[in-house]
Chain A
Amino acid sequence: MPWLFIAPITLLHLVVVVAPSIGGMYYALTDWSGIGKADFIGLENFRTLFFDDGNFRLAIRHNVLWLAFFLTVPFIMALAVATLLAQTRRGSMAIRTAFFVPYVLPSVVVASIWRMLLDPRLGFGTLLENWGIEGFAHPYLGDKNTALGAIAFADNWHWWGFLMILFLTAMQNIPADLYDAAKIDGANRWQEFLNVTLPGIRSTVFFMLMMTAIWSFLVFDYVWILTHGGPAGSSEMLATYLYKQAFQRFEAGYGAAIGITMSAIAGIMATIFVLLRRRGWDV
């Protein structure tokens, strides 16, 4: 009887997620267009990926840059702002709400907003020029040196506020007497942050660092909507590359191999974090 209640959703999850995941591992070893018979070719797809495919290497590089960006910028912003906000009282609920709003917007809308703001002729650069500040009008999404950074900026605009709320919630669970004790010991605000706040929320920070590391290798929406991986592959990511291979060039086997590789990288990142945690980081 208890299992009768559990069975339907479990079966659904098995069919939609688990079985195809296993299937993907087989297809990664085949040359297959997605239609008809799949030719078993062993590890050939992986050999091509790792040794002959410059686009793949480029995509990995971009995902690593993306990871570096998202492990630092949103975390610094969120920690700083959560600390500031935790000290305030008047209006703090309204401010919290304001920071949370971008997070509930769909990615297509966020992308649409930033496509306008980052436009070279009609974007925020032009607005600044009207105010007498020159030099910010630039085709951020159309220049291969800035496209990746511009997409990360737009994604982070929608993301960091959510991270901040998570940290703020964790900070509010720190007992007030720890702060009182720090005060008595003559700690300044920075010492208070280092010795009371940060240790108090470190398990939340650590968990989110881990989730960020996993997600960084799976990102798709913002890149696809804003640049399709361009210009000239300058913002190509593993997920956009997989999408192109599997659903536009009909290289389903090759796409599956990319899928496994990116999942494995994400899995390794997660494992590193779990091991660090066991190794006396004590979080």
Chain B
Amino acid sequence: MFRRRGRTNLIPNYIILLLLVCFALGPILVPLFNSLKTPQELGTNPIGLPRAVHMENYVNAWVQGEFATTLTNSLIYVVFTVAGVLLLGGMAAYSLARLDPPGGNLYLVYMLTLSTLPFWLYVIPLFIMWRNLGLLNTRAGLIIMYVAFNSPFAIFLLRSFFMSLSRDFEDAARVDGANEWQVMTRVVIPIMWPAFLTVGLVVALGVWSEFQAALIFLQKDELLPVTTSYYNFTQRFGRDWSLTSAGAVMMTVPVLALFLLLQRRFVTGLTQGGLKM
């Protein structure tokens, strides 16, 4: 359908598309502009370009919002969740795609069905269980949950990547006397790293943005990820938009930079199976 050049007039298309691009990107500029204004200027010029650039909001937000702590926390949650999902999910996906376990298809149906269980169905008993196990208000408690939430998606996507890979490399290694573990770690993973990267990015984005589980399962300030901590921050400094805007920019820039850098992988991963809101 791309070969129909010149046959239809595309100018109306571009006009509508550009208007919508403004709608998609325009609002993102608002916190960027506001973060550079003084509160006094913001009162008279709430949306437009700043008249003079003030960087001190960033310093203040960084200190008062404890961004050093919370960005580190979020990074910890992201890194450990991604590692856990790729390790455990990768093992399961590899086994399902390659080792032909008896009942493997049944297992897939099981996983597919149970992956649709909604968070709000199990959150209350999970909360009680986490409290009894002493996992409430701990980093490990949140990471374990995140790994479990993300595992069905990772298993399905990694499995389909494994299936699309030729078995010849692995068979060659087996002929040379490698055991299954060695086949996986020495042969499959080096070839599969783009797939792992794709899944890892989708999981990382999900964990970085996650709000509801963090809100419920973590209350200690020093453990909060940047999302719920930022939420508390905006509750506390509700009307100080230059300050909260600086905070918003600081927590968005890392995600946006990574997204623009690795766009294709993000889009593939998210559209192929990361059907999460």
B121 surroundings in chain A (CB, below 8 A) = 21, 24, 259-260, 262-263
B10–A87 contact, CB under 8 A? yes
Contact residues, B106-130 vs A (CB, 8 A): 107, 111, 114, 116-129
A215 close to B (CB within 8 Å): yes
B156 close to A (CB within 8 Å): no
Chain B residue at minimum C-beta to C-beta distance from A9: B88
A87 to B251, CA, bound (A): 36
B263–A97 contact, CB under 8 A? yes
Binds B, one of A46-54, A108-116, A140-148: A108-116
Shortest Cβ distance from A144 into chain B, in angstroms?
20
Chain B residue at minimum C-beta to C-beta distance from A115: B234
Shortest Cβ distance from B276 into chain A, in angstroms?
9
A20 close to B (CB within 8 Å): yes
A86 surroundings in chain B (CB, below 8 A) = 1
Chain B residue at minimum C-beta to C-beta distance from A162: B270
Shortest Cβ distance from A55 into chain B, in angstroms?
16
**A113 is contacted by which of B95, B155, B248 (Cβ under 8 Å)?**
B248
Q: Mark B176-194, 1 if CB is under 8 A from A, else 0.
A: 0000100000000000000
Using known A-B contacts A13-B151, A104-B256, determine if residue A270 contacts B116 with beta carbons closer than 8 Å.
yes
Q: Classify chain A: how many residues form its interface, as a range.
A: 35 or more
Using known A-B contacts A34-B128, A108-B211, A165-B271, determine if residue A117 contacts B27 with beta carbons closer than 8 Å.
yes
**A123 is contacted by which of B13, B46, B127 (Cβ under 8 Å)?**
B46
Shortest Cβ distance from B32 into chain A, in angstroms?
10
Chain A residue at minimum C-beta to C-beta distance from B147: A12
Chain A residue at minimum C-beta to C-beta distance from B21: A98
Shortest Cβ distance from B237 into chain A, in angstroms?
11
B165 close to A (CB within 8 Å): no
A5–B99 contact, CB under 8 A? yes
Interface residues of chain A: helix, strand, loop or mixed (majority): helix
B251–A16 contact, CB under 8 A? no
B126–A16 contact, CB under 8 A? yes
B63 close to A (CB within 8 Å): no
**A259 is contacted by which of B5, B88, B124 (Cβ under 8 Å)?**
B124
A37 to B58, CA, bound (A): 49
A211–B275 contact, CB under 8 A? yes
Contact residues, A241-280 vs B (CB, 8 A): 242-243, 246-247, 252, 255-256, 258-260, 262-263, 266, 270
Shortest Cβ distance from B189 into chain A, in angstroms?
13
Chain B residue at minimum C-beta to C-beta distance from A38: B128
Q: Mark B207-233, 1 if CB is under 8 A from A, else 0.
A: 011011001100000000001101100
Shortest Cβ distance from B39 into chain A, in angstroms?
11
A101–B277 contact, CB under 8 A? no
A106 to B74, CA, bound (A): 12
A231 close to B (CB within 8 Å): no
A88 surroundings in chain B (CB, below 8 A) = 10, 13-14, 17
A18 close to B (CB within 8 Å): yes
B134 close to A (CB within 8 Å): no
Q: Mark A11-55, 1 if CB is under 8 A from B, else 0.
A: 011011111110110010000001000000000000000000000
A242 surroundings in chain B (CB, below 8 A) = 120
A2 to B21, CA, bound (A): 49
Chain A residue at minimum C-beta to C-beta distance from B216: A247
Using known A-B contacts A179-B4, A263-B118, determine if residue A12 contacts B88 with beta carbons closer than 8 Å.
yes
B209–A106 contact, CB under 8 A? yes
B46–A127 contact, CB under 8 A? yes
A157 to B2, CA, bound (A): 28
B16–A127 contact, CB under 8 A? no
**B212 is contacted by which of A85, A106, A115, A221 (Cβ under 8 Å)?**
A221
5 contacts between A and B (CB under 8 A): A81-B20, A104-B255, A126-B47, A262-B120, A262-B121
- Nearest 4 CB-CB pairings of A with B: A2-B101, A122-B46, A23-B125, A16-B148
